[in-house]
Amino acid sequence: MELEILFELAVIIVGAAVLGTLFLFLRQPIVIAYIAIGFALGPGGLDLIKETTHLEQIAHVGVILLLFLIGLNLQPQKLIAIFKKTALSTMSTSLLFALVATAFSLLLQFSLSASLLVGAAMMFSSTVVGLKLVPTTTLHHKRTGEVMTGVLLLQDLMAILLILLLSGGGSEHPIFEFGLLLLKFILLATALFLGVRGIMLPLLTRFDVVQEYTFVATLGWCLLGAEAAYLLGLSYEIGAFTAGISIASSPVARAIAEHLKPLREFFLILFFFAIGARLNLQIDPILLTAAVIFGILLVPLKAIIFRKAFEWSGEKPSASKELSVRLSQSSEFSLLVVIAATNGGWLHEQQGMMIQIATLITFIFSTYWTVLCYPTPISASHNLLQD
């Protein structure tokens, strides 16, 4: 029993390596291999790994590290400017996506409340998939990466508020809940910035020649920020991102980011595996067909809407087109919204599974589109391969 987790990790990593090799030979995105091996080995496939909850919790660390690394490369002044630039387009596009998904659900004869929840779940884009496919140089030093980061982080804040409301906290007073959420975020950010100024920077400056110390100290700061945010009712991701921004002014921030990248990659493999393992195709055939159709149609529809919104906000046509493709999938937050909604009795289990299947299809479709057309760290084409 003690070695069960070791067996599971061995099966996952070996399976991901074997299938990933095959996918690369076939010039296919390796992220899809991770999802495929999750489905093959999970409860919906060979059932070698019967319970994935603990793996999902471990995999969550990869998402936390990803947001922390993004924060490490963003100065606070730049982040505020990005939010100002993207706020209107983010809010308007999210509303349009919600209306489309709601209308589709009403056509399936879902109740109005269930349809609205489907709309809410499908209106976001994936932070993990979107940022995973952006080369580091683009993410940190180019306009495309800055705009993507702004849109995704604003969407994440909206998703967190939605999950809080579905979980019952402040659902009768959403404006008060939002204000309280904002106040908590300000308090968290203030505490982290003061902590960096008074504690972290002096320590990192004194011991920056000891790489092991800078690694463990900054990793500890990341997890401290994530846990503090969670205790305040925010999310681990928001806390990790804020912790990253707070320490971005350190002269060793760039070196820290390089040291953490392999650790991030390991946990993201588990994240995508867990996504694949969630799949359960044993649902009503009508809902299964609807999920497939909706997932396929939603990607180009989101791309079109995003492209128009970015062009109207003043982005160049070429940049607008690339951003629209990179943001055309649904979000991992859709899965969290489904969990909160089903636990609260807002959605039936099969309705929730339909959302999850549609979300995974958007992951796959959008990933293929991005990898085949734009530079990514996992492109099979040498011309598009950029880390």
pLDDT tens track, the chain, 387 positions = 455 778 888 888 898 899 988 887 776 667 778 888 888 888 877 878 877 777 777 777 877 887 787 777 666 666 677 777 778 888 899 999 999 999 999 998 888 888 888 898 888 898 878 877 887 665 555 777 778 878 887 887 777 667 666 654 444 565 676 677 778 888 998 999 999 888 888 888 788 777 788 888 888 999 999 999 888 887 787 888 888 888 877 777 777 777 777 877 788 788 788 878 877 777 888 888 999 999 999 999 999 999 999 988 888 888 899 999 999 988 877 777 777 777 767 788 888 888 888 988 898 889 889 888 888 877 666 676 666
Residue 241 vs residues 96, 99, 235, 269, 305: alpha-carbon distances, Å:
27, 30, 10, 20, 28
CATH of the domain at 151: 1.20.1530.20
User: How many domains in the chain?
Assistant: 1
Neighbours of 312 (CB within 10 A): 12
Residue 26 lies in a domain: no
283 DSSP assignment: S
Residue 34 lies in a domain: no
Token couple for 376: 């990514």
Rounded (10°) CA dihedral 76, 78, 81, 87: -80
- Go through 106-143 and write b for each residue having 16 or more CB atoms within 10 A of its CB, e for each that does not: beeebeeebbbbbbbbbbbbbbbbbbbbbbbebbbeee
Residue 275 lies in a domain: yes
385 DSSP assignment: B
Helix (H, G, I), strand (E, B) or coil at 376: strand
Are 189 and 246 contacting, i.e. CB atoms less than 8 angstroms apart? Answer: yes
What residue numbers bound the domain in which 284 lies? 56-373
Residue 381 lies in a domain: no
Residue 280 lies in a domain: yes
CA nearest neighbour of 86 among 325, 301, 321, 306: 306
Residue 38 lies in a domain: no
CA nearest neighbour of 253 among 76, 135, 85: 76
**How far apart, in whole angstroms, are the C-alpha atoms of residue 329 and residue 359?**
7
Residue 382 lies in a domain: no
Residue 258 lies in a domain: yes
